[in-house]
Amino acid sequence: MKKGKVWLVGAGPSDFELLTIKGKKVIENADIILYDRLVSHSIVNLAKDSAILIDVGKSSNNHTMCQSDINQLLLKYALEGKKVVRLKGGDPFLFGRGGEELELLEENNIPFEIVNGITSAIAVPAYNGIPVTHRDFTSSLHIITGHNKDNNINIDFDCLVKLNGTLLFLMGLSSLNIICEGLINAGMDKNMPVCILEKGTTSKQRNIQGTLNNICEKCIEEEAKTPAIIIVGKVCELSEKFSWRKNLPLSNNRVLVTRPKDKNSSFCSMLRENGAEVIDLPTIKTIPIQNEQIEKTFNNLDFNYIVFTSPKGVEQFFYNMKLYKKDIRGLFDKKIAVVGNATKKAVEEKGLFVDIMPKNYCGRELGYELLKYIKNDDKILIARTKDGSQDIINILKDKNIKDIALYETKYEKANFINYNFDYNDIVTFTSASTVIGFIKSVKDYNLDYSKIRAVCIGKETEKEAKKYNFKTFVSDKATLDSLLEKVINIVK
Catalytic positions, written as ranges: 36, 58
Give the 3-state secondary structure of the chain: CCCCEEEEEECECCCHHHCCHHHHHHHHHCCEEEECCCCCHHHHCCCCCCCEEEECCEECCEECCCHHHHHHHHHHHHHCCCEEEEEECECCCCCCCHHHHHHHHHHCCCCEEEECCCCHHHHHHHHCCCCCCECCCECCEEEEECCCCCCCCCCCHHHHHHHCCEEEEECCHHHHHHHHHHHHHCCCCCCCEEEEEECCCCCCCEEEEEECCCHHHHHHHCCCCCCEEEEECHHHHHCCCCCCHHHCCCCCCEEEECCCCCCCHHHHHHHHHCCCEEEECCCEEEEECCCHHHHHHHCCCCCCEEEECCHHHHHHHHHHHHHCCCCHHHHCCCEEEECCHHHHHHHHCCCCCCCECCCCCCHHHHHHHHHCCCCCCCEEEEEEECCCCCHHHHHCCCCEEEEEEEEEEEECCCCCCCCCCCCCCEEEECCHHHHHHHHHHHHHHCCCHHHCEEEECCHHHHHHHHCCCCEEEECCCCCHHHHHHHHHHHHC
Choose among 287, 372, 288, 376: nearest CA to 337: 372
Pairing of strands 379-385, 471-474: unpaired
